[in-house]
Amino acid sequence: MTSQPIRIDWLDVHAHYVADHYAEARRAAGHGRPDGTPGLPGWSSAAALEVRAAAGVDAAVLSVSSPGVRFGADSLGTDPAASVLFPRLLSATKGSP
C-alpha cells in the first residue's frame, strides 16, 4: 500500500511557537517584551490550528521568537533547542502538518 502525498496549497512560513515554559524563561531573564511588543502572546497547538484553519492555511513552519533560545545565563540549558524546546514542540504539534 502506498500513501498519498499531502497536498499543501497554503504554507505559513513565519509562525511563532511561544510555549509556556519558553515564555516563563524569557520573562525571568528580562525578555518579556520581544522587539518592543507589549508582551509575549499565549500559544497552544489548538489555538494555532484554529487560526490556521480560519486563514485557510494548510501547514506552518514554526519558528522561535527573538531573541531565540539563548538569553540571560543560558536560561534554557546548554543545548536549549535540542534538549528543551524542540522535544516539547514536537509533542505539542504531533499529527499536524
Residue with cell 536549549: 80
The proportion of the chain whose per-residue pLDDT surpasses 90, expressed as a percent, equals 6
Q: Hey, how many other C-beta atoms are within 10 angstroms of the C-beta on 27? A: 13
Residue range 57-77: average pLDDT?
72
What local confidence, expressed as pLDDT, does residue 29 receive? Answer: 80
Q: What is the pLDDT of residues 28-51, one digit of tens each?
A: 888 888 888 888 888 888 888 899
Bridge partners (DSSP) listed for residue 11: 59
Please, is 8 exposed, middle or buried when counting C-beta atoms within 10 Å of its C-beta (0-12, 13-18, 19+)? exposed
Top-confidence residue, 19 or 77: 19
Q: What is the DSSP letter of 76?
A: T
On the question of pLDDT at 75 being above 60, the answer is no
Q: How confident is the model at residue 57 (pLDDT cuts 50, 70, 90)?
A: very high
What local confidence, expressed as pLDDT, does residue 56 receive? Answer: 92
On the question of pLDDT at 74 being above 60, the answer is no
DSSP string computed for 39-75: SPPP--HHHHHHHHHHHT--EEEEEEPTTTT--TTTT
* CA atoms of 73 and 78, how far apart (whole Å): 10
The domain spans of the chain are 11-93
